[in-house]
Amino acid sequence: MWELIKINKRNSVLLLGAMGSVLLILGFVLGLLFGGPEAGLIGMLIATGVWLFMMLISLSSGDQIMLAASKAVPVTHDVHPVLFNVVEEMKIAANLPKMPKIYIINDPAPNAFATGRSPETASIAVTAGLLAKLDRDELQGVVAHEMSHIIHRDILFVTLAGVMLGSIVLISHIFLRSMFYSSLGSRRRYSSSSSNQGAAQLVMIVVAILFAILAPIFAQILYFALSRKREYLADAGAVRLTRYPAGLAGALEKIGGSNINMETANKVTAPMYIANPFRGKKKVNLYSTHPPIEERIRILRNMTHGAAYANYEKSYEEVTKRSPVVPTSALIPEEVTIRQATTESKSTQTAKQQARQVGDLMRQVSQFAFVTCACGLTMKIPPNYNGDKVQCPRCKKFSSISKQ
Amino acid sequence: MGGLLIGLLVIVGLIVLVAIMVIGIYNALVGLRNQVDNAWSQIDVQLKRRHDLIPNLVETAKGYMEHERGTFEAITEARSRAMGANGAAEAGKAEGALTEALSKFMLVVENYPDLKANQNFLSLQETLTSTENKISFARQGYNDQVLFYNNKIQMFPSNIIAGMFQFTKRDFFEIENEEERNVPKVSFN
């Protein structure tokens, strides 16, 4: 695990370095274009300034922005004791210094993500749909996957790489827009110089435009390639923590089987989720943020001999016939046996019951009051209801609402 | 003269470099050893939590299960023996017995549907499941930490520093009893 963290850090630094160079070159080229030969350095400075500004914001409050954007609500132990217990179990297994903060997202699509700068400031958010669909072992698998992202420092990597990508996209976007609108003006400005210089200028403009178009694409491909690899590694880490590959496999089957799009996710936040929050696109290409979920399930189901990284690696190679995914120095010889299942499966529940459970959970998170009438009917009172009594629609009796 | 000075500077520089490395490795080893100790105390925390949970559990279930006095007595006795155990070996054995008594109790619960409908009992049951899990995950986490620490003090170059300052290998947590190895699973189906 620690070897893996070390290698992950090195890869993150390499990737950030590569993306950083793209950013600097972009700044340099644009500087040259707008201000002449001396302005290349100034362009680089401006690009660095944009990046620094965005980085400061995202490091100080990136997790809060992410949680707010996905409409995640912080919850207490009483709202969902099982979720809290499972997170604490994984915290203990991973020797994490501090309990992550726990959030529930009001969304019926099953999904989850982790965010934060460091293991000490991490947060885990799961959707109400996930809690309703998964049994205890499966939930443990998902939480362990997120916990692995935390201990592998993927949450910091996603933040830093996301900001870098954002800066590149922002700068090239502004440049392309300005080129589009000022193309006439700039042509007039250079018309007084000799034709030779004008030709050089034209070549320069074409190069700059090409670079501005290609830079974000290149940065994205780099970013998503590493992000896909991190998903496999987090799966391997989850199995090692829980000692139970079937738990995560079952969870991914249920997550993959759902065809609900997440309403609270967007293109920027998508790489952070356990599975791609957008349905429909099945084929994996250079722009995929996640490996195909069926393949991840097959790898997990194929693990029958043990729960160590080496077992995951072996299963990965058998299933995908591709080159290794886990770095060799992380494959320490160890014997990790798979444990048995602990809970009954939730498949006995009907879809209707699950939908009701999602609704109740979402109301609980949004602080609805639950009042049970003497006739057995449970009424769910929204928090903005002002009276202190409510009439039962079935037996017409009044019950008082106890505010929590 | 100049060559001598440069040679001297190089030697001093090397000594400083080695000293910095030694300090770094030493501090890392101390940090790791503390993490091993911390992981070990985590097991005790969870075991104590289980001890605290039992009186409440027995109290809640007693009213529903009048014919199971033997089961309750076994749990209470195993608990007091575990709490009064001296030394790691004895404690390990007593905790194992308690685990076994509790899983037997959970099997018996299946025959009492009234009890399984009790909201208070259900929440206790979840706490117990989780505590059992936390105990086994704490042991697992401790072993992971020991594995890493032991690797570190055997590998070059940290093994030299470890030898100089008496960092000794730690033992893994192992359940001696083969039968017990299969028990930590508490099933509530």
Give the model's confidence band at A242: pLDDT under 50 very low, under 70 low, under 90 confident, else very high: very high
Read off the tokens for B149.
Answer: 């620490």
> Under a CB-based contact definition with an 8 Å cutoff, are residues A371 and A381 in contact?
yes
The pLDDT assigned to B178 comes to 44
Mean local confidence (pLDDT), B175-179: 52
Mean local confidence (pLDDT), B123-146: 90
Contact B164/A at CB under 8 A: no
Given its phi and psi angles, is residue A72 left (phi above 0), alpha (psi -120 to 50 degrees) or beta? beta
The pLDDT assigned to A247 comes to 93
Contact B187/A at CB under 8 A: yes
Residues 6+ apart with CB under 8 A from B186: A342, B99, B102, B103, B106, B128, B129, B132
The pLDDT assigned to B96 comes to 87
Q: Average per-residue pLDDT in chain A?
A: 83
Residues 6+ apart with CB under 8 A from A52: none
Query: Does A95 sit within 8 Å of B145, measured CB to CB?
Result: yes
Query: Does A136 sit within 8 Å of B134, measured CB to CB?
Result: no
Q: Average per-residue pLDDT in chain B?
A: 85
Contact B189/A at CB under 8 A: yes
CB within 8 Å of chain A, chain B residues 98-117 = none
Angle between helices A245-257 and A195-242 (to 10 degrees): 130
Cα distance between residue A35 and residue A42, in whole Å: 9
The pLDDT assigned to A184 comes to 43
Cα distance between residue A1 and residue B61, in whole Å: 42
Of chain B, the percentage scoring pLDDT greater than 90 comes to 33
Chain A: residue whose CA lies nearest to B45: A92
DSSP B78-144: HHHHHHT--HHHHHHHHHHHHHHHHHHHHHHHTT-HHHHH-HHHHHHHHHHHHHHHHHHHHHHHHHH
Give the model's confidence band at A183: pLDDT under 50 very low, under 70 low, under 90 confident, else very high: low
CA-nearest of A58, A54, A36 to A170 is A54
The pLDDT assigned to A278 comes to 77
What are residue A391's DSSP bridge partners? A398
Cα distance between residue A1 and residue A326, in whole Å: 11
pTM confidence score: 0.83
Mean local confidence (pLDDT), B79-103: 86
The SS3 assignment for A97 reads: coil
Residues 6+ apart with CB under 8 A from A47: A23, A24, A26, A27, A30, A167, A171
Residue A402 is classified by DSSP as P
CA-nearest of B23, B127, B112, B107 to B66 is B112
- Identify all chain A residues contacting B42, using CB atoms and an 8 Å cutoff: 92
Above 80 in pLDDT, residue B186? no
Give the model's confidence band at A343: pLDDT under 50 very low, under 70 low, under 90 confident, else very high: low
Give the model's confidence band at A279: pLDDT under 50 very low, under 70 low, under 90 confident, else very high: low
Mean local confidence (pLDDT), A131-153: 93
